[in-house]
Chains A and B, each alone.
Chain A
Amino acid sequence: MPTNAPNESRNSGAHISLRQCSKSYRANRVLQPLDLDIRAGETLVLLGPSGCGKTTTLRIIAGLDTPDAGGAVLFDGQNVTAVPIERRNVGMVFQSYALFPNMNVGDNVKYGLRVRGYAPAEAHSRAQQMLAMMRIEELASRRIDQLSGGQRQRVALARALAPQPRVLLLDEPLAALDARLRDTLRVEIDRLLRSLGITAIYVTHDQSEAMALGDRIAVMEKGVVAQIGTPEDIYFRPSNAFVSDFVGTMNTILHNGARYLFRPEDIELVDRSSAQFSGTVVQRQFLGDHVQLAIAIDGNQEQRPVTARADSRTAPPLNASVGLTLRPSH
């Protein structure tokens, strides 16, 4: 995939720090005091179920919400807690696109430059550059209601990036798109964030998006960061049951006094005679490239069946008795 990002706009963005940021609505504290550092140029994904505080954290960084007294937001060491969003120089991308329906695509992209007092010619060439970067030059004079969801989100990205923000904030930008478009645009956003080297904070509840885009992931639960680390850390070394369960599937087998924790891809279907465990297929879902099986393990004191994957062509039928063995390192 060619990167036609303009090289002049390669800026690393700001280093962002949150210090003891909490947020309460009346007596309800939705965000516990949080310390968080996002390095310049890094993409941090805030991952968690709805109501975990990830959007609140994003809004505090944006300046749309203020933290409770005692909290501070720093951009490159400078305290911006009291600075309103319009003077923080942040770019925002929303799930609902939030494009201005009374302006065409080009004017949407130019808007940030216009209110900053750019000369029209300069704003125009910068907007053209942004549209080219998003590969939507031909849409410049379209009305917003003539665009597909994927095109809208590209326009929203171009608009957010045009004024060269210090940080790009994305709030579930792909959640409203269908699965195929989501994949395409995810690759696009990945390319964009890497080529621009901008600081980015990406909120999502989708773990595969988080894995694909994050330099680091902060998994949040009930207003607290449960774990923060690289996608590999989060996936292979989850710090608690919530993280391991939320990020992918984690199986548990309690067998002869020993507890085994493993991902579906770490267990293999083998011949029953040489198997570590045996069980029965209780559910079988054909997913094209593989078959997902739920297997009730004989003698497993954990109630939940184990999730395993099998080759689409050779997967055992429902109610078959199967043998299972964990891959080495488990």
Chain B
Amino acid sequence: MPNRETKLHLLLIAPVAICFTAFFLIPLGKLFLIGGSGEFGWMAYTAVFTERRYVESMITTVLLSLLVTLVTLVISGIAGVFLARNQFAGHSVLTAMLTLPLAFPGVVIGFMIIMLGGRQGLFPALTEWVSGERVVFAYSLVGLFVGYIYFSIPRTILTVMAAAEKLDPRLEEAARSLGARPLQVVAHVVVPALYPALLAAGAICFATAMGAFGTAFTLATKINVLPMVIYTEFTMQANIAMAAALSFVLGLITWLALGLARSLTGNSVAAAA
């Protein structure tokens, strides 16, 4: 028989258990079952890894997300350490502006990329003026890449800033006194000290990029990233089982990335979200 304390604990955990079951376990289980209910049955799950169209999309999405993560970490790393170290007029305004894209939906960011690199955008106008040729990048993976970088920075910069504030400047001074050049100080002292934060922020960044849909949808339908493929399977081809299987695998990959980062850093990655 459960005693009073156990009953209380069960009562306290009930709300979250209900939410978790209703909005995660049941839909996910249903999704998994739907994935196996199509004309190819459970083969839909192997098709994700054998059918050329899906494999290519998977590789493109993973590579794009990895590249976005890497570039975002470099940008946020430099900016975050700088912002944590230096106080100047407009510091808080700048920090607020850098974190602003958090509040933008993907569609808005897609439109901003079109303003920048679309057919009537600023960048093609500039390249025409310089070289006579209009360079349009908005409707391709490049446009998507730029958009993802933009909305990934706020997701990482605050985590990096928090970690950089805890960095003991004496460590860098000690390294320099021992003869380390500035780049060596960064490689041997700063990056290792920021490593847990970079890994945590990177995992969030990667997971977000893997699943982002709004931006890709605004830019073009021919961009071959996984969320777009899922959308096309679902709406155009009415291949609901395949869409479900792809969704399940996509979820699994992002979940693995977060789990890996969590186990490597030993602290809560979720806190960075």
Contacts and interface: CB of A to CB of B under 8 A. Distances in A.
Interface of A: 62, 64, 84-87, 89-92, 94, 96, 98-102, 111-112, 115-116, 156, 159-160, 163, 169
5 contacts: A64-B173, A100-B175, A115-B178, A116-B179, A159-B178
Given A111-B188, A115-B179, 15 more contacts: A62-B177, A85-B177, A86-B178, A86-B179, A87-B179, A89-B179, A96-B168, A96-B170, A98-B168, A98-B170, A111-B178, A111-B180, A115-B175, A116-B179, A156-B174
A159 B179 CA distance: 12
Chain B at the A interface: SS class: helix
B27 interface: no
Contacts of A100: 171, 174-175, 188-189, 192
B183 to A, nearest CB: 11
Instruction: Name A's interface SS.
Output: mixed
A85 B192 contact: no
Interface string B232-266: 00000000000000000000000000000000000
A160 B177 contact: yes
A159 B184 CA distance: 17
B11 to A, nearest CB: 41
A129 B178 CA distance: 17
B176 interface: yes
Contact of A84 (B176, B178, B193): B176
Contacts of B176: 64, 84-86
Nearest to A64: B173
A101 B173 CA distance: 14
A280 B176 CA distance: 58
Contact of A86 (B180, B188, B189): B180
Shortest Cβ-Cβ A-B pairs, 8 listed: A112-B178, A102-B192, A98-B170, A92-B177, A98-B174, A115-B180, A86-B176, A85-B176
Q: Which of A86, A91, A92, A96 has the most CB of B within 10 A?
A: A86
Contacts of B180: 86, 111, 115
B89 to A, nearest CB: 14
Interface in B178-214: 178-181, 184, 188-189, 192-193, 195
Given A111-B188, A115-B184, A98 B171 contact: yes
A300 B184 CA distance: 64
Interface residues of B, number: 18
A202 to B, nearest CB: 15
Given A100-B188, A101-B193, A102-B192, A86 B177 contact: yes
Nearest to B177: A92
B175 A163 contact: no
A155 to B, nearest CB: 11
A112 B170 contact: no
A91 B175 CA distance: 10
Contacts of B171: 98, 100
A216 to B, nearest CB: 23
Nearest to B185: A86
Interface string B119-162: 00000000000000000000000000000000000000000000
A102 B193 contact: yes
In this complex, which of B175, B176, B180, B188 has the most chain A Cβ atoms within 10 angstroms of its Cβ?
A: B176
A91 B177 contact: yes
Nearest to A85: B176
A84 B172 CA distance: 13
Nearest to B169: A98
Interface string B3-27: 0000000000000000000000000
A86 B178 CA distance: 6
A163 B178 contact: yes
A67 to B, nearest CB: 17
Contact of B174 (A89, A92, A102): A92
A169 to B, nearest CB: 8
B184 to A, nearest CB: 6
Contacts of B193: 101-102
A85 B192 CA distance: 22
Q: Which one of B168, B175, B178, B181 has the highest number of Cβ atoms from chain A below 10 Å of its Cβ?
A: B178
Contacts of A90: 177
Contacts of A89: 179
Given A94-B170, A101-B193, A111 B175 contact: yes
A133 to B, nearest CB: 17
A94 B177 CA distance: 11
Contacts of A62: 173, 177
A95 to B, nearest CB: 8
A200 B177 CA distance: 15
A143 B174 CA distance: 18
Contacts of A85: 173, 176-177
Nearest to B181: A86
A89 to B, nearest CB: 7
A84 to B, nearest CB: 7
